[in-house]
Copies of this chain bind each other. A is one copy, B any other.
Amino acid sequence: MPKIKAIHHVAVVVDDMEKSLAFWRDALGIELHELRDVPAEKSQVAFLPIQGAEIELVLPTSADSGIAKYLAKRGPGMHHICLEVDDIAGMLAQLKQKNIRLINEEPRLAADGKQYAFIHPEATGGTLVELYQI
């Protein structure tokens, strides 16, 4: 049976990266591991690891991206939670069998080699959930 192993990250959409870092990094004192441009997702992402998990601050860099539209509609705040799973293909098969609505029916491959897939918020009770296999 595929198993959820950990909360991998919580992604937060921000509208001002410097202001957000002034809180998460400077006020709370969480180390900024990396500030990375991610052209494939039309965003800039700040990675702030906390003991095996991390906060990811996501700033849209183009108005036509999904994340920019989310920001325009909902305002800044938590965007999704990512759970690490030991067998993503097995988990997606299990979810499909239970009629859980998926955004990605098959695992997708990130630039860094990780496999990921999103579950539709309609199926989870309103939360966008990402699965990650490392």
Contacts and interface: CB of A to CB of B under 8 A. Distances in A.
A22 to B, nearest CB: 8
Interface residues of A, number: 45
A3 B28 CA distance: 8
B126 A23 contact: no
Q: Could you say which of A5, A16, A19, A29 has the most chain B C-beta atoms within 10 Å of its C-beta?
A: A29
18 contacts: A6-B50, A6-B51, A7-B10, A7-B51, A13-B126, A14-B125, A19-B125, A20-B124, A20-B125, A23-B100, A23-B125, A26-B98, A27-B95, A27-B123, A28-B83, A29-B94, A75-B126, A76-B126
Interface of A: 1-7, 10, 12-16, 19-20, 23-24, 26-30, 50-53, 55, 57, 75-78, 81, 83, 91, 94-95, 98, 100, 121, 123-127
